[in-house]
A and B are shown apart, each in its own frame.
With several copies, the nearest count.
Chain A
Amino acid sequence: MKNGPVKSSRVNNGLVRPRLTTVIGALAVVSIAATVWLGLWVTPPDKVQGNLVRLVYIHPPVAWVALYLAFGLAALSSLLYLWKRTRSLFWDRLAAASVEVGVVFNALTLVSGSIWGRPTWGVWWTWDARLTSTALLLVLFVGYMALRRVPADPEIRARRCAVAALVAFVDVPIVHFSVVWWHTLHQNATVLNPNITPTIHGSMAWTLLLGFVAFTLLFVWMVVRLYQVQLLKDRIGDRELAISLGERWAESDLGTPVHAEGAPAGRER
């Protein structure tokens, strides 16, 4: 851990090396551009849906990132935080970062779905099981963010939020299986279905695959960056803590204690 002022973009965030982060970011941009190009100009329009089918390259990948990558990672890291042997604020920061990304992507899922729904179903919104459970998922994780904002000790907040994330994650399988359980209006699983033969072909399949890769890269990049933000916030907190520890020591006339060499911020847990 370097002392003194550090350029934020060069901060070692403990997840990925800064150079690699930049590479991932660049790859994400390139692959999204490629997906857009392939999606808009190369792939053919659909027989039934016409040009609308092009949303297929956006909507499912976005949904997949939100549900499985972001919220899955959040739940996993929350679990690891709660488990005594792996308890570390690292997992808490990771969970927070991925929930933030997840909320954004969840909102994007709703928006892209709505845009798609308008021409195909004739309405922006219907009270279909998948749609509503997706909307609930958003509220659940907004609740998580609200809980995070309540002022508390970092450890206490971490524990509280971890429980909230795990409880909220219960909704994810519901979203996934909603189409099966309730025979809804929404598409059945076409890509993530059990028998892996995709029901679409050719350039479309490849573009869709690229879409998944592109949004996954974007997800990774965002998580890394937001993790960095969390880390910087924590570092600022640590620095504030160091300052207040100094002030606190100055309140008595003992001066700095002997055992206080090195970082006073306490054990990283």
Chain B
Amino acid sequence: MSTKVTPPAIHFRAAVALAGRFPALAGVDLNVAYGDVAVFLGANGAGKTSLLRACAGLLPVTSGDAVILGCDVVADPLEIRRRVGLLGHAAHLYDELNPVENVRFVLRAARSDIARADPALQRLGIVGRLRKTQVGRLSAGQRRRVVIAGLLARSPELWLLDEPHAGLDASTRELLGVLIEEAASSGATVLLSSHEPELAVPLADRVITLAGGRVVGETTGGRKRVRSLTERSRADVA
């Protein structure tokens, strides 16, 4: 084994996170290197959503260590949130505003160039009349596409995608794969949860199985690695 070179993007050690009085995460040990794509599999209630929310600094970790992108989740959630993007079960959009306004708002909040909104929406197929329809009126899949367009436009350092395939139609599912690959190869780290291994595993470097709020297994995914194998093992050890 080589020595630790860079600290990992995600580092959990014995992390416990409580939802109410319930340990949604019950001692997670996990390291994910920068630039990796990791997919979480697991039964309903295994803790996938909780883990992703903890990575976004939304679910406070009450014991153990949790360091995301070099920031402690308890000490500095704000800094983390600036740098991550989350696609959750529910779409965080302003129902009264249209897709363009929503994405622009996200970009302004992130201090990014609002000109990036249009190409992103275009790419996700939010074109024509949909651009000007209040998002409260869009269909379930269209809403999720708007959120993904926001992520794409912002291009955060860490993508957290909670069942991103759910609700998307065939062509967007394909596109999602492309977007994830693009993000990862441009250096971003991507974590996604899924109930559709046949779609998610090919995208991933690492396939991590959760159960009972813990990591219970890991295999490698099908992502064609660009980086050399040495680099790979280094990151894994870190």
Identify the A interface with B (CB < 8 A).
151-156, 237, 240-241, 244-245, 247-254, 257, 259-260, 264, 266-267, 269
Contact = CB atoms under 8 A, between A and B. Distances in A.
A155 B60 contact: yes
Nearest to B13: A259
Interface stretch (B21-29, B86-94, B113-121): B21-29
A140 to B, nearest CB: 27
Contact of A249 (B14, B45, B128, B212): B212
Residue of B14, B26, B45, B216 with most partner-chain A CB within 10 A: B26
Interface in B116-142: 128-129
Contacts, number: 66
Interface string B147-171: 0000000000000000000000000
A35 to B, nearest CB: 43
Nearest to A156: B60
A60 to B, nearest CB: 43
B237 interface: no
Chain B interface residue bracket vs A: 20 to 34
A254 B209 CA distance: 12
A241 B211 contact: no
B76 to A, nearest CB: 11
B44 to A, nearest CB: 11
List 9 tightest A-B contacts by C-beta distance, closest first: A251-B212, A252-B211, A266-B63, A252-B212, A266-B62, A248-B26, A259-B14, A267-B63, A252-B216
Given A151-B20, A241-B22, A254-B214, 14 more contacts: A152-B20, A237-B21, A245-B23, A249-B27, A249-B212, A250-B212, A251-B213, A252-B214, A252-B216, A253-B216, A266-B62, A267-B62, A267-B63, A269-B62
B12 to A, nearest CB: 12
A267 B16 CA distance: 10
Contacts of A156: 60
Given A155-B60, A241-B23, A257-B27, A266 B214 contact: no
B129 A244 contact: yes
Contacts of B46: 251
A264 B128 CA distance: 22
B60 A153 contact: yes
B20 A248 contact: no
Contacts of A269: 62
A251 B213 CA distance: 8
A39 to B, nearest CB: 47
A266 B14 contact: no
A253 B129 CA distance: 18
Given A244-B22, A259-B14, A155 B27 contact: no
Given A152-B20, A153-B20, A257-B14, A245 B26 contact: yes
Contact of B62 (A155, A240, A244): A155
A260 B27 contact: yes
Interface in B10-44: 14, 16, 18-23, 26-27
Contacts of A237: 21
17 contacts: A151-B20, A153-B20, A155-B60, A240-B21, A241-B23, A244-B21, A244-B23, A245-B23, A245-B26, A249-B27, A250-B212, A251-B46, A252-B214, A257-B14, A259-B27, A260-B14, A266-B63
B216 A254 contact: yes
A249 B214 contact: yes
B95 to A, nearest CB: 11
Contact of A247 (B27, B129, B211): B129
Of B21, B128, B129, chain A has the most CB atoms within 10 Å of the CB of: B21
A245 B16 CA distance: 9
Nearest to B59: A153
B18 A266 contact: yes
B214 to A, nearest CB: 6
A252 B47 CA distance: 11
A249 B215 CA distance: 11
A248 B214 CA distance: 9
A259 to B, nearest CB: 5
Interface in B46-69: 46, 60, 62-63
